[in-house]
Amino acid sequence: MARPAKRLSVSVEDKLELEKLLGSGVAQVRVVLRALALRQMGDGRSAPEAAGMVRLTGKAVRELADRYRAGGLET
């Protein structure tokens, strides 16, 4: 049985920071993928949905969301 989806609430300030990062040009691929996944989850998508869009595993995206919940973008 699939896990129930955990929704992620991304603050407006963090959404703006993610958009700046994604629009800045050159950045490490892993940073960009993580930013894209957070943005997708912040837009209401589940971890598996976001994972499929950015080609990460569901587990990686769930862990990313857990780190965001615990400490924001800096963790």
Q: Domain extents for the chain?
A: 27-74
Confidence at 75, pLDDT banded by 50, 70, 90: low
Q: What is the rounded CA–CA span in Å between residue 37 and residue 2?
A: 20
Please, are residues 14 and 41 in contact by the beta-carbon 8 Å criterion?
Answer: no
pTM, two decimals, is 0.76
Per-residue model confidence as pLDDT tens digits over 3-51: 777 788 999 999 998 888 888 777 788 888 999 999 999 999 999 999 9
